[in-house]
Amino acid sequence: MCGWAILHRLQTPVYVQTGEQMKITTTEFIKSATRPENYPPVELPEIAFAGRSNVGKSSLINVLVNRRNLVRTSSTPGRTQLINFFAVNADFTLVDLPGYGFAKVPLAVKKAWGPMIRTYLEQRETLKGVVFILDIRRVPGDEDLKMLDWLEEFEVPTIPVITKIEKVNRSQRDAEPRKIMAATGLPRDAFSLFSATTREGRDEIWERIAEALDEEDGMDLLGADA
C-alpha cells in the first residue's frame, strides 16, 4: 500500500494539479542571462512569459506565485533587458523574457533583443511553453506577430493571455478581443483573460501552465487548427 503510494507519486509529476489550485511553497530567483552558456543547467521544465514592454509580464508572474515583488515591475517600460529565471517549488522554472516594442530603448539593445529571444526559443531544451501576453486595449503590432511566428516556427506550445481586462467595461471586454483575434488569427477560446489588479484568470492560467509542464498532455495551440 505504502509502496504503491510512493510509486504513484513518482509517476505523477507534483506540479500537475489540473482541477486543483497550484500550491506554491517556494519561489526563488535563480539568475539572469542573455546567452545559452549562461542559462541555468538543463534540469527543470520551464515556462516563459513573452510580450511587449509594459504589457504586464512581471505583474502576471508575481500574481501567479503570490508575491508582490518577486519580479520587479515598473512604470518605466523597457527596464527588463535580461532573461530572468525563477524556480517554483524547486520543481519548475518561470522565465521573465525582456519585452519588445519600447521606442526609447537604445538601438544596440533593440538589435540584441531579436537574436537573444530567438536563440532562447530555438535552443532551450527545457522550454515547455510560452505565456504570450497582449493588452486588451491594444491591437497587436508587428513585433507581437513576429513573436507568434517564432513560437510557431520553433513549435513552442503557446498560452495566449489578454491582460489588464479590468481597464475596460463589459462591452469592450467582448469587442476588444475580437480585434486581437482578427490580428493574430487565433480563436477566442485560445485566450485566457487576466487582470493583475483583480487576479481574475489566475487559476485558469495555472491550469494551462500545469498542462504544458506535463508534456504528454501539453497542447500546441498554434498548431491546433493546422
User: In whole angstroms, how close is the CB of 191 to Mg ion at the nearest point?
Assistant: 21
The closest alpha carbon to 40, from 98, 99, 111, 90, belongs to 90
Q: Which C-beta is closer to ligand GTP: that of 59 or that of 184?
A: 59
Which one of residues 80, 158, 163, 184 is an interface residue with Mg ion (CB under 5 A)? 80
With the C-alpha atoms ordered 50, 51, 52, 56, is the resulting torsion angle positive or negative? negative
CA 158/CA 190 separation, integer angstroms: 9
Torsion angle (degrees, nearest 10) of CA 113, 133, 157, 202: 140
User: In whole angstroms, how close is the CB of 72 to ligand GTP at the nearest point?
Assistant: 7
Contacts of 124 (CB under 8 A, 6+ apart): 36, 39, 46, 48
Residue 54 partner contact from Mg ion, ligand GTP, none using kind-dependent CB cut-offs of 5 to 8 Å: ligand GTP
Q: Is 147 in the site for ligand GTP (CB under 6 A)?
A: no
Which one of residues 77, 89, 152, 183 is an interface residue with ligand GTP (CB under 6 A)? 77
CA 194/CA 161 separation, integer angstroms: 7
By CB under 5 A, what part of segment 54-73 binds Mg ion?
A: 57-58
131 forms beta bridges with 49, 159
Contact in structure between 129 and 207 (CB atoms under 8 Å): no
Q: Is 160 in the site for ligand GTP (CB under 6 A)?
A: no
User: In whole angstroms, how close is the CB of 157 to ligand GTP at the nearest point?
Assistant: 21
Provide the residue type at 31 as one letter: K
User: In whole angstroms, how close is the CB of 67 to Mg ion at the nearest point?
Assistant: 14
User: In whole angstroms, how close is the CB of 60 to ligand GTP at the nearest point?
Assistant: 7
Q: Is 167 in the site for ligand GTP (CB under 6 A)?
A: yes
State the residues that interact with Mg ion by CB under 5 A.
Answer: 57-58, 80
State the residues that interact with ligand GTP by CB under 6 A.
Answer: 51, 53-59, 73-75, 77-80, 99, 163-164, 166-167, 195-197
